[in-house]
Structure 1
Amino acid sequence: MTRNSSTETNGQDRNAWLTGFTPQAEIWNGRLAMIGFVAYVLWDLAGASVLRDVLHLLPR
């Protein structure tokens, strides 16, 4: 029985920095998007919300 390693995708290391339409690029894209989202939420909680001020979502 052949077993794939959890660290490999398409026979390559899934943490490799590959560009183009590869599974590794999509993994990094998701990671960076999560970092950006958390950074924005922290920025918003600190009181410097541009999006909330522009869209008038919540009263001050």
Structure 2
Amino acid sequence: MFISFLLPILSNRWIWGFSKGAETWNGRLAMLSFLVIFYFEFVYSLPVLNLLGFL
């Protein structure tokens, strides 16, 4: 009975490496980072590299 309770938890483990889940999260984080970069460039009217001190 206790093992049947754990089976859904164990079957949904994170798969490391190149997998569909990793590609999905990579795409989501890339889109979010682009939105943040565009927001800072719009608000401050400067490139992000200038804000970070690289240019």
TM, length-normalised to structure 2: 0.55
Q: Which has the higher contact order (CA 8 A, sep 6+)?
A: 1
Identity of aligned residues (%): 38
Q: Which has the higher helix share?
A: 2
Report the TM-score, using the length of structure 1 for normalisation. 0.51
Query: Please, which runs of 5 or more residues in structure 1 have no aligned partner?
Result: 1-11, 55-60
* Partner in structure 1 of residue 19 of structure 2: 22
Give the ranges of 4+ consecutive aligned residues of structure 1 lying more than 6 Å apart after TM superposition: none
How many residues end up aligned between the 2 structures? 40
Structure (1 or 2) with the larger CA radius of gyration:
2
Structure 2, unpaired ranges of 5+:
1-10
